[in-house]
Structure 1
Protein backbone atom coordinates (compact mmCIF):
# COMPACT_ATOMS: atom_id res chain seq x y z
CA UNK A 1 0.00 0.00 0.00
CA UNK A 2 1.33 3.43 -0.90
CA UNK A 3 1.99 6.16 1.67
CA UNK A 4 -0.78 8.25 0.13
CA UNK A 5 -3.31 5.44 0.65
CA UNK A 6 -2.12 4.95 4.26
CA UNK A 7 -2.67 8.66 4.99
CA UNK A 8 -6.13 8.45 3.38
CA UNK A 9 -7.15 5.53 5.60
CA UNK A 10 -5.77 7.30 8.68
CA UNK A 11 -7.86 10.39 7.93
CA UNK A 12 -11.02 8.27 7.48
CA UNK A 13 -10.50 6.38 10.76
CA UNK A 14 -9.76 9.65 12.56
CA UNK A 15 -13.07 10.95 11.22
CA UNK A 16 -14.92 8.02 12.83
CA UNK A 17 -14.83 5.23 10.25
CA UNK A 18 -14.75 1.74 11.81
CA UNK A 19 -15.09 -0.73 8.91
CA UNK A 20 -12.07 -1.84 6.88
CA UNK A 21 -14.24 -3.12 4.00
CA UNK A 22 -14.95 -1.13 0.87
CA UNK A 23 -18.33 0.55 0.68
CA UNK A 24 -20.88 -0.72 -1.82
CA UNK A 25 -20.78 1.04 -5.16
CA UNK A 26 -23.74 1.79 -7.39
CA UNK A 27 -22.28 0.29 -10.53
CA UNK A 28 -23.77 -1.45 -13.55
CA UNK A 29 -26.08 -4.31 -12.47
CA UNK A 30 -24.93 -7.81 -13.36
CA UNK A 31 -26.78 -9.50 -16.23
CA UNK A 32 -26.12 -12.93 -14.72
CA UNK A 33 -29.44 -13.97 -13.24
CA UNK A 34 -30.63 -17.22 -11.72
CA UNK A 35 -32.88 -17.80 -14.74
CA UNK A 36 -29.96 -17.37 -17.14
CA UNK A 37 -27.77 -19.73 -15.11
CA UNK A 38 -30.53 -22.34 -15.16
CA UNK A 39 -30.96 -22.03 -18.94
CA UNK A 40 -27.23 -22.56 -19.46
CA UNK A 41 -27.29 -25.55 -17.13
CA UNK A 42 -30.16 -27.13 -19.10
CA UNK A 43 -28.25 -26.68 -22.37
CA UNK A 44 -25.15 -28.34 -20.93
CA UNK A 45 -27.16 -31.23 -19.50
CA UNK A 46 -28.67 -31.81 -22.96
CA UNK A 47 -25.21 -32.09 -24.51
CA UNK A 48 -22.17 -32.17 -22.23
CA UNK A 49 -19.79 -31.92 -25.18
CA UNK A 50 -20.79 -28.34 -25.99
CA UNK A 51 -17.90 -25.95 -26.53
CA UNK A 52 -18.30 -22.38 -25.34
CA UNK A 53 -18.46 -21.28 -28.98
CA UNK A 54 -21.30 -23.71 -29.71
CA UNK A 55 -23.05 -22.68 -26.52
CA UNK A 56 -22.84 -19.00 -27.48
CA UNK A 57 -24.95 -19.70 -30.60
CA UNK A 58 -27.88 -20.45 -28.24
CA UNK A 59 -27.25 -17.23 -26.28
CA UNK A 60 -26.25 -14.62 -28.89
CA UNK A 61 -26.94 -11.75 -26.48
CA UNK A 62 -24.23 -12.94 -24.07
CA UNK A 63 -20.49 -12.77 -24.66
CA UNK A 64 -18.36 -15.93 -24.70
CA UNK A 65 -16.34 -14.74 -21.70
CA UNK A 66 -19.53 -14.28 -19.66
CA UNK A 67 -20.78 -17.72 -20.69
CA UNK A 68 -17.48 -19.24 -19.63
CA UNK A 69 -17.82 -17.50 -16.26
CA UNK A 70 -21.34 -18.89 -15.80
CA UNK A 71 -20.26 -22.41 -16.69
CA UNK A 72 -17.08 -22.51 -14.59
CA UNK A 73 -17.83 -20.19 -11.63
CA UNK A 74 -21.60 -20.41 -11.17
CA UNK A 75 -22.26 -23.98 -12.33
CA UNK A 76 -18.79 -25.26 -11.30
CA UNK A 77 -18.36 -27.36 -14.46
CA UNK A 78 -14.98 -28.46 -15.80
CA UNK A 79 -14.20 -29.72 -19.30
CA UNK A 80 -12.58 -33.12 -18.82
CA UNK A 81 -11.68 -36.02 -21.08
CA UNK A 82 -13.17 -39.47 -20.78
CA UNK A 83 -10.89 -42.04 -19.13
CA UNK A 84 -9.42 -44.60 -21.49
CA UNK A 85 -9.91 -48.28 -20.63
CA UNK A 86 -8.24 -51.16 -22.51
CA UNK A 87 -11.37 -52.90 -23.81
CA UNK A 88 -15.13 -52.49 -23.98
CA UNK A 89 -16.40 -55.84 -22.75
CA UNK A 90 -19.96 -57.02 -23.25
CA UNK A 91 -21.75 -59.03 -20.52
CA UNK A 92 -21.04 -62.15 -22.59
CA UNK A 93 -17.30 -61.37 -22.67
CA UNK A 94 -17.26 -60.84 -18.91
CA UNK A 95 -19.09 -64.12 -18.29
CA UNK A 96 -16.62 -66.06 -20.46
CA UNK A 97 -13.63 -64.49 -18.72
CA UNK A 98 -15.14 -65.31 -15.35
CA UNK A 99 -15.66 -68.93 -16.42
CA UNK A 100 -12.06 -69.17 -17.66
CA UNK A 101 -10.73 -67.68 -14.41
CA UNK A 102 -12.71 -70.19 -12.32
CA UNK A 103 -11.48 -73.06 -14.52
CA UNK A 104 -7.87 -71.92 -14.11
CA UNK A 105 -8.27 -71.62 -10.34
CA UNK A 106 -9.62 -75.16 -10.13
CA UNK A 107 -6.81 -76.55 -12.31
CA UNK A 108 -4.22 -74.66 -10.26
CA UNK A 109 -5.75 -76.15 -7.12
CA UNK A 110 -5.37 -79.61 -8.65
CA UNK A 111 -1.97 -79.21 -10.36
CA UNK A 112 -0.18 -76.42 -8.48
CA UNK A 113 2.75 -74.52 -10.05
CA UNK A 114 3.23 -77.24 -12.63
CA UNK A 115 -0.06 -76.21 -14.20
CA UNK A 116 1.08 -72.56 -14.44
CA UNK A 117 4.23 -73.62 -16.31
CA UNK A 118 2.07 -75.21 -19.03
CA UNK A 119 -0.07 -72.12 -19.77
CA UNK A 120 0.77 -70.33 -23.03
CA UNK A 121 -0.98 -67.18 -24.22
CA UNK A 122 -0.87 -65.26 -27.48
CA UNK A 123 -1.39 -61.57 -28.23
CA UNK A 124 -4.74 -60.36 -29.49
CA UNK A 125 -5.65 -57.38 -31.68
CA UNK A 126 -8.91 -55.44 -31.70
CA UNK A 127 -9.49 -53.49 -34.91
CA UNK A 128 -11.93 -50.62 -35.40
CA UNK A 129 -13.74 -50.41 -38.72
CA UNK A 130 -13.57 -46.58 -38.66
CA UNK A 131 -11.13 -44.11 -37.17
CA UNK A 132 -12.17 -43.58 -33.52
CA UNK A 133 -12.63 -40.16 -31.92
CA UNK A 134 -9.72 -38.53 -30.13
CA UNK A 135 -9.58 -37.83 -26.41
CA UNK A 136 -10.04 -34.13 -27.22
CA UNK A 137 -13.30 -34.94 -29.04
CA UNK A 138 -14.52 -36.97 -26.07
CA UNK A 139 -14.24 -34.06 -23.62
CA UNK A 140 -17.45 -33.12 -21.81
CA UNK A 141 -18.57 -30.82 -19.01
CA UNK A 142 -18.92 -32.37 -15.56
CA UNK A 143 -18.44 -31.54 -11.91
CA UNK A 144 -15.30 -32.62 -10.10
CA UNK A 145 -17.34 -35.09 -8.03
CA UNK A 146 -19.23 -36.61 -10.96
CA UNK A 147 -18.36 -40.16 -12.05
CA UNK A 148 -15.79 -40.21 -14.85
CA UNK A 149 -16.95 -41.49 -18.23
CA UNK A 150 -14.84 -44.15 -19.91
CA UNK A 151 -14.03 -44.89 -23.53
CA UNK A 152 -12.22 -47.95 -24.79
CA UNK A 153 -9.00 -47.75 -26.77
CA UNK A 154 -9.30 -48.64 -30.42
CA UNK A 155 -6.75 -49.50 -33.09
CA UNK A 156 -6.76 -47.12 -36.05
CA UNK A 157 -7.60 -48.72 -39.39
CA UNK A 158 -8.58 -47.68 -42.89
CA UNK A 159 -12.32 -47.49 -43.48
CA UNK A 160 -12.23 -49.75 -46.55
CA UNK A 161 -10.28 -52.55 -44.84
CA UNK A 162 -12.36 -55.48 -43.62
CA UNK A 163 -10.95 -57.82 -40.99
CA UNK A 164 -12.36 -61.35 -41.12
CA UNK A 165 -11.26 -64.17 -38.84
CA UNK A 166 -12.18 -67.55 -40.33
CA UNK A 167 -10.91 -71.07 -39.63
CA UNK A 168 -7.96 -70.64 -42.00
CA UNK A 169 -6.86 -67.39 -40.34
CA UNK A 170 -7.25 -68.89 -36.87
CA UNK A 171 -5.13 -71.95 -37.84
CA UNK A 172 -2.46 -69.59 -39.18
CA UNK A 173 -2.45 -67.77 -35.83
CA UNK A 174 -1.98 -71.07 -33.98
CA UNK A 175 0.89 -72.02 -36.30
CA UNK A 176 2.64 -68.73 -35.51
CA UNK A 177 2.15 -69.43 -31.83
CA UNK A 178 3.62 -72.92 -32.28
CA UNK A 179 6.73 -71.49 -33.97
CA UNK A 180 7.09 -68.94 -31.16
CA UNK A 181 6.95 -71.75 -28.60
CA UNK A 182 9.61 -73.70 -30.50
CA UNK A 183 11.91 -70.66 -30.54
CA UNK A 184 11.35 -69.27 -27.07
CA UNK A 185 10.25 -72.18 -24.85
CA UNK A 186 11.99 -75.29 -26.08
CA UNK A 187 10.58 -78.56 -24.81
CA UNK A 188 7.10 -77.18 -24.17
CA UNK A 189 5.61 -78.84 -27.26
CA UNK A 190 6.43 -82.26 -25.82
CA UNK A 191 4.41 -81.37 -22.72
CA UNK A 192 0.72 -80.92 -22.41
CA UNK A 193 -0.21 -77.26 -22.65
CA UNK A 194 -3.40 -75.25 -22.93
CA UNK A 195 -4.54 -72.10 -24.65
CA UNK A 196 -6.97 -69.96 -22.59
CA UNK A 197 -10.35 -69.31 -24.17
CA UNK A 198 -10.96 -65.80 -25.44
Structure 2
Protein backbone atom coordinates (compact mmCIF):
# COMPACT_ATOMS: atom_id res chain seq x y z
CA UNK A 1 0.00 0.00 0.00
CA UNK A 2 1.33 3.41 -0.96
CA UNK A 3 1.93 6.26 1.46
CA UNK A 4 -0.91 8.77 1.70
CA UNK A 5 -1.31 12.53 2.05
CA UNK A 6 -3.64 12.55 5.08
CA UNK A 7 -1.16 14.00 7.59
CA UNK A 8 -0.32 16.78 5.18
CA UNK A 9 -4.01 17.61 4.72
CA UNK A 10 -4.38 17.77 8.50
CA UNK A 11 -1.42 20.14 8.71
CA UNK A 12 -3.09 22.42 6.16
CA UNK A 13 -6.30 22.37 8.25
CA UNK A 14 -4.30 23.14 11.40
CA UNK A 15 -2.49 26.07 9.80
CA UNK A 16 0.85 24.25 9.81
CA UNK A 17 1.64 24.57 6.13
CA UNK A 18 4.05 24.34 4.43
CA UNK A 19 5.01 20.91 5.75
CA UNK A 20 8.20 19.11 4.78
CA UNK A 21 8.79 15.37 4.84
CA UNK A 22 12.37 14.37 5.65
CA UNK A 23 14.30 11.13 5.30
CA UNK A 24 17.90 9.99 5.00
CA UNK A 25 19.77 7.22 3.22
CA UNK A 26 23.18 5.74 3.92
CA UNK A 27 23.54 5.07 7.63
CA UNK A 28 24.94 1.57 7.17
CA UNK A 29 27.46 1.61 4.30
CA UNK A 30 31.21 1.38 4.81
CA UNK A 31 31.83 4.15 2.27
CA UNK A 32 30.28 7.28 0.87
CA UNK A 33 28.13 10.02 2.39
CA UNK A 34 24.88 9.94 4.27
CA UNK A 35 22.29 11.86 2.23
CA UNK A 36 19.05 13.48 3.38
CA UNK A 37 16.20 15.07 1.50
CA UNK A 38 13.36 17.38 2.53
CA UNK A 39 10.32 17.62 0.28
CA UNK A 40 7.28 19.91 0.33
CA UNK A 41 4.71 18.36 -1.99
CA UNK A 42 2.12 20.32 -3.94
CA UNK A 43 -1.28 19.33 -2.45
CA UNK A 44 -2.76 19.62 -5.94
CA UNK A 45 -0.14 17.42 -7.62
CA UNK A 46 0.90 14.54 -5.34
CA UNK A 47 2.56 11.83 -7.47
CA UNK A 48 0.83 8.46 -7.49
CA UNK A 49 2.58 5.48 -5.93
CA UNK A 50 4.82 7.20 -3.39
CA UNK A 51 6.26 4.61 -1.02
CA UNK A 52 9.31 3.65 1.01
CA UNK A 53 12.18 3.75 -1.49
CA UNK A 54 13.33 0.28 -0.32
CA UNK A 55 10.06 -1.22 -1.57
CA UNK A 56 10.47 0.20 -5.06
CA UNK A 57 12.53 -1.04 -7.98
CA UNK A 58 15.37 1.15 -9.18
CA UNK A 59 13.40 1.97 -12.32
CA UNK A 60 10.29 2.97 -10.35
CA UNK A 61 12.39 5.11 -8.00
CA UNK A 62 13.84 6.95 -10.98
CA UNK A 63 10.36 7.53 -12.43
CA UNK A 64 9.03 8.86 -9.14
CA UNK A 65 12.14 10.98 -8.63
CA UNK A 66 11.37 12.75 -11.91
CA UNK A 67 7.70 13.14 -10.93
CA UNK A 68 8.66 14.64 -7.57
CA UNK A 69 11.23 16.98 -9.13
CA UNK A 70 8.61 18.25 -11.59
CA UNK A 71 5.69 18.64 -9.18
CA UNK A 72 6.98 19.38 -5.67
CA UNK A 73 6.76 22.90 -4.31
CA UNK A 74 10.26 22.64 -2.82
CA UNK A 75 13.10 20.14 -2.44
CA UNK A 76 16.18 20.37 -0.25
CA UNK A 77 19.02 17.86 -0.53
CA UNK A 78 22.12 17.64 1.65
CA UNK A 79 24.92 15.22 2.46
CA UNK A 80 27.50 14.60 5.15
CA UNK A 81 30.82 13.21 3.96
CA UNK A 82 32.60 10.09 5.14
CA UNK A 83 35.23 12.26 6.84
CA UNK A 84 32.52 14.17 8.71
CA UNK A 85 30.89 10.89 9.73
CA UNK A 86 34.21 9.73 11.19
CA UNK A 87 34.59 13.02 13.05
CA UNK A 88 31.14 13.24 14.67
CA UNK A 89 29.71 9.64 14.45
CA UNK A 90 26.96 8.32 12.21
CA UNK A 91 24.05 9.34 14.44
CA UNK A 92 25.16 12.95 14.60
CA UNK A 93 25.96 12.89 10.89
CA UNK A 94 22.45 11.67 10.10
CA UNK A 95 20.86 14.41 12.20
CA UNK A 96 23.15 16.98 10.57
CA UNK A 97 22.23 15.81 7.07
CA UNK A 98 18.53 16.20 7.86
CA UNK A 99 19.04 19.68 9.31
CA UNK A 100 21.03 20.68 6.25
CA UNK A 101 18.33 19.35 3.92
CA UNK A 102 15.61 21.39 5.64
CA UNK A 103 17.89 24.46 5.63
CA UNK A 104 18.35 23.95 1.87
CA UNK A 105 14.62 24.35 1.20
CA UNK A 106 13.85 27.63 -0.56
CA UNK A 107 10.88 28.12 1.80
CA UNK A 108 10.90 27.49 5.54
CA UNK A 109 8.39 24.85 6.65
CA UNK A 110 6.10 25.37 9.64
CA UNK A 111 6.10 21.64 10.36
CA UNK A 112 8.48 18.77 9.64
CA UNK A 113 7.70 15.05 9.58
CA UNK A 114 10.76 12.80 9.88
CA UNK A 115 11.09 9.08 9.30
CA UNK A 116 12.18 7.07 12.34
CA UNK A 117 12.26 7.83 16.06
CA UNK A 118 15.29 10.11 16.43
CA UNK A 119 14.55 13.51 14.87
CA UNK A 120 16.85 16.53 14.85
CA UNK A 121 15.83 19.79 16.46
CA UNK A 122 14.41 22.18 13.89
CA UNK A 123 13.19 25.75 14.18
CA UNK A 124 9.59 24.56 13.82
CA UNK A 125 7.37 21.78 15.11
CA UNK A 126 8.56 18.28 14.24
CA UNK A 127 7.19 14.76 14.57
CA UNK A 128 9.13 11.53 14.10
CA UNK A 129 7.10 8.69 12.58
CA UNK A 130 8.38 5.12 12.72
CA UNK A 131 8.22 3.62 9.21
CA UNK A 132 6.98 7.00 8.05
CA UNK A 133 8.56 6.49 4.63
CA UNK A 134 5.87 3.90 3.91
CA UNK A 135 3.02 5.83 5.52
CA UNK A 136 3.38 9.55 4.80
CA UNK A 137 3.56 10.83 1.23
CA UNK A 138 6.01 13.65 1.96
CA UNK A 139 8.42 11.36 3.82
CA UNK A 140 8.14 8.74 1.08
CA UNK A 141 9.01 11.41 -1.47
CA UNK A 142 12.03 12.43 0.61
CA UNK A 143 13.17 8.81 0.88
CA UNK A 144 13.02 8.44 -2.91
CA UNK A 145 14.89 11.69 -3.55
CA UNK A 146 17.58 10.81 -1.00
CA UNK A 147 18.02 7.26 -2.32
CA UNK A 148 18.24 8.22 -6.00
CA UNK A 149 20.61 11.09 -5.17
CA UNK A 150 22.93 8.94 -3.08
CA UNK A 151 22.94 6.09 -5.60
CA UNK A 152 23.98 8.57 -8.27
CA UNK A 153 26.77 9.87 -6.06
CA UNK A 154 28.03 6.33 -5.49
CA UNK A 155 28.01 5.61 -9.24
CA UNK A 156 30.23 8.65 -9.74
CA UNK A 157 32.51 7.51 -6.91
CA UNK A 158 32.61 4.11 -8.57
CA UNK A 159 34.10 5.69 -11.68
CA UNK A 160 36.71 7.46 -9.55
CA UNK A 161 37.56 4.37 -7.49
CA UNK A 162 36.71 1.41 -9.74
CA UNK A 163 38.48 -1.22 -7.60
CA UNK A 164 35.70 -1.26 -4.99
CA UNK A 165 32.57 -1.86 -7.07
CA UNK A 166 30.62 1.05 -5.56
CA UNK A 167 28.21 1.05 -8.49
CA UNK A 168 27.03 -2.46 -7.57
CA UNK A 169 26.73 -2.18 -3.77
CA UNK A 170 26.67 1.62 -3.21
CA UNK A 171 29.12 1.29 -0.34
CA UNK A 172 27.46 -1.44 1.72
CA UNK A 173 29.62 -4.16 3.24
CA UNK A 174 29.02 -6.91 0.72
CA UNK A 175 31.45 -9.79 0.26
CA UNK A 176 32.72 -8.12 -2.92
CA UNK A 177 33.33 -4.86 -1.08
CA UNK A 178 35.08 -6.51 1.87
CA UNK A 179 37.33 -8.47 -0.47
CA UNK A 180 38.27 -5.27 -2.30
CA UNK A 181 39.07 -3.61 1.03
CA UNK A 182 41.42 -6.45 1.96
CA UNK A 183 43.12 -6.33 -1.43
CA UNK A 184 43.38 -2.57 -1.92
CA UNK A 185 42.88 -0.97 1.48
CA UNK A 186 40.40 1.90 1.88
CA UNK A 187 40.04 4.93 -0.34
CA UNK A 188 39.36 8.49 0.89
CA UNK A 189 35.59 7.85 0.66
CA UNK A 190 35.62 5.01 3.19
CA UNK A 191 34.36 5.50 6.73
CA UNK A 192 37.41 4.79 8.83
CA UNK A 193 35.36 4.64 12.04
CA UNK A 194 33.31 1.69 10.70
CA UNK A 195 34.24 -1.98 10.99
CA UNK A 196 35.94 -3.64 9.14
CA UNK A 197 37.90 -0.44 8.38
CA UNK A 198 38.18 0.61 12.02
CA UNK A 199 41.35 -0.52 13.74
CA UNK A 200 42.94 -1.67 10.49
CA UNK A 201 43.54 1.60 8.63
CA UNK A 202 43.67 5.20 9.74
CA UNK A 203 43.07 8.41 7.83
TM-score, normalised via structure 1 length = 0.24
Of structures 1 and 2, the one scoring higher in RCO (CA 8 A, sep 6+) is 2
> Looking at CA atoms only, which structure, 1 or 2, has the larger radius of gyration?
1
TM-score, normalised via structure 2 length = 0.23
